[in-house]
Amino acid sequence: MAQRLVGLPAPDFTMETALGNGKEFGKVSLSDYRGKWLVLFFYPADFTFVCPTEIIALSDSIEEFKDLDAEVLGVSTDSVHSHRAWINTPREQNGLGGINYPLASDFLKKVSRDYGVLDEKAGVAFRGLFIIDPEGILRYQVVTDMNIGRSVDETLRVLQALQSGGLCAANWRPGDKHLEAF
């Protein structure tokens, strides 16, 4: 199950992607994000019910992530062809209708396994969210049940707290003071 990765170099990866425009395929590696923050998230499967709510919410907030010098990458164990079909399915038909970042295919389940989110019995990833700093060090990880969607606002808050460089209390927001160490 999930292992502690925080504070360690993020597990390396190279995956095929379906670009958010629904037309093109690509390839992505962890090294492509060097020098930027990466919000890497895993979700169980395409054409499901909770997954599109988070994928669309993250897509709708992409400018906020870009303003924080962060990129977003979604990953599931589905194929790039499934990703592209889902991206091209209209939102009113439980599709994504185009998104502002790529979806990567972990078809061989190696990356999900390396990040400790693979449900071996079901062959799909739990909902895992990882924030990787510009040097490739994993700074935040959270893994949740497949039925619980994640909060984009909380992801942005955590990213801002990590970037602030100080001790951040519970519910810290940008502009709040850092805690003083004794």
Query: Does residue 51 carry a catalytic annotation?
Result: yes
Cα–Cα distance measured from residue 22 to residue 91, given in angstroms and rounded to the nearest whole number: 13
Cα–Cα distance measured from residue 97 to residue 53, given in angstroms and rounded to the nearest whole number: 12
Cα–Cα distance measured from residue 156 to residue 65, given in angstroms and rounded to the nearest whole number: 7
Active-site choice (38, 40, 51, 138): 51
Distances (CA, A) of 15 to 26, 113, 151: 9, 14, 25
Sign of CA dihedral 33, 38, 42, 47: negative
Residues facing residue 70 across a β-bridge:
37
What phi and psi, each to the nearest 5 degrees, are found at residue 156? -65, -40
Residue that the structure tokens 């504070």 belong to: 7
Q: Is 65 helix (H, G, I), strand (E, B) or coil?
A: helix
So which residues are the catalytic ones? 51
